[in-house]
Chains A and B, each alone.
Chain A
Amino acid sequence: MRLTLLVMIVFAVAAVLGLGATLRAVSHGLPIGGLTIGPWRADPDIGGLGADPYLRAGVARRGEAPLAYGDGVAFEARTDDAGRALDAACDYTLEGDLPAARLWTLSLFSVEGRGLETALGRRGTSSAETVRLVGRPIVVELSQTAKAGDWIQLPANGAFVLRLALYDTALGTPLARRTPPQLLAVKRGACR
């Protein structure tokens, strides 16, 4: 009787801890590894067959077709600079300069990776659309109400994810990873 109980404890501990660790690692990613710059995080290794099992499992779960090495590097931000989760009820200002790339795009997604529905239907901006002033950094405003400058409308409510993709860049190479450049700062403004 006591042996049966012990065996059941062994299997219960194994199942709960083992599967729990898998679920946690696949849905949140590993806290180590990857390329982290401020609130932005990228996993350049996802763009090849050398990706580790954690990255592969994440791709399969999200249903994503990641960018290949030679194509580009995609950064994701789920928090602002102070570590607070991104919320559509707040205004955000993204400001800074970006490393050398042929092209960059900034887009908004739901937490699961679907595009967001807004009244205007504009879901992001890119290096072809944004307006830059000589000698000034890139400034992008995120808000539910109209703002001067490059403005992306936020949805009515809920959390969202920012994705900054740089195409044709050397950023993902091992050499460049050791001296990461600055990316856009994510500053939170007023909240409704």
Chain B
Amino acid sequence: MMRLFHALVVGLFLAGVVHVGSLLAIPSLAPRGPYDRLSALPADGRFVALPDDGANAKLLAFSDPSFVVAACRYDLADGPVTVRAALPSTYGAVAIHERRGAPFYALTDKAATNGTVEVVILRENDVAAAEEDETAQARPSIRIVSPSDAGFVLVRLFAQAPSARPALKALAESATCGRSTTPTSTP
């Protein structure tokens, strides 16, 4: 009887270990995380609007239907990536998410100069190189270090009415997230 009790105590202890281990493993093992879901779109290296209907509609769970969303998946293996997006003053935001879906940086249209925002995403190792390249610029670019090599950027524009959606979709897809040409110089 005593040995059964001991076995249960050891089992409880191991259950705690299993719980913590499985919880920490979920983000890397989940097959349908937000980054994987976006693979249904041709969104590698360019922005593609999430469709309103069809098989790819509602690709991201709990995606606000009042917003037009365009997504771009980036990969920093070949160097930093520059995101440039036009955000209308009705409300627009650029959100940068790491590989497992957690957002680590966001800008709204309040931060826009001349209606556009520009952000450079880079790896930790590339920060020093980017700072050396720093030349006098009319507008200093914002540099963000990504915690993971891969990730995705969402451009989210508020649509006041359904009739505004087609124009906003075109605007959201006009955003770019290409390889940075160093040194980045904007007039």
A residues engaging B (CB < 8 A)? Answer: 2, 6-7, 9-19, 21-22, 25-26, 46-49, 51, 53-54, 56-57, 59-71, 74, 76, 102-103, 105, 107, 109, 112-115, 123-124, 126, 128-129, 163, 165, 167-168
Q: Which residues of A contact B93 (CB under 8 A)?
A: 68, 70-71, 167
On whether the beta carbons of A64 and B103 are closer than 8 Å, the reply is: no
On whether the beta carbons of B103 and A66 are closer than 8 Å, the reply is: yes
Bound-state CA distance A100–B14 (Å) is: 47
Given contacts A60-B34, A68-B95, A68-B103, could you give 11 more A-B pairs where the C-beta distance is less than 8 Å?
A: A9-B4, A10-B14, A18-B16, A56-B100, A64-B63, A70-B93, A102-B91, A109-B61, A115-B63, A167-B91, A167-B93
Give the dominant DSSP class at B's interface: mixed
Those of B96-135 within 8 Å (CB) of chain A: 97-98, 100-108, 110
How many A-B contacts at CB < 8 Å in the complex?
Answer: 192
- Judge if B56 is at the interface, Cβ distance under 8 Å: no
Checking B23, B64, B108 against A107 with a beta-carbon cut-off of 8 angstroms, the contacting residue is: B64
Q: Which residues of B contact A105 (CB under 8 A)?
A: 64-67
Checking B4, B22, B37, B102 against A19 with a beta-carbon cut-off of 8 angstroms, the contacting residue is: B22
Checking B18, B65, B67, B103 against A115 with a beta-carbon cut-off of 8 angstroms, the contacting residue is: B65
Q: Which residue of A lies closest to B67 (CB)?
A: A105
> A14-B15, A71-B106 in contact; A65/B63 too (CB < 8 A)?
yes
Q: Which residues of B contact A17 (CB under 8 A)?
A: 11-12, 15, 18-19
Which of B25-33, B76-84, B176-184 touches A? Answer: B25-33
Chain B interface extent, by class: 35 or more
Those of B21-77 within 8 Å (CB) of chain A: 21-24, 26-27, 30, 32-34, 36-37, 57-58, 60-67
27 contacts between A and B (CB under 8 A): A6-B7, A11-B14, A17-B11, A18-B21, A18-B22, A19-B19, A22-B23, A46-B102, A57-B26, A60-B34, A63-B60, A64-B61, A64-B62, A65-B34, A65-B60, A65-B154, A67-B103, A71-B95, A74-B64, A107-B65, A113-B61, A114-B61, A126-B158, A128-B66, A128-B161, A167-B158, A168-B108
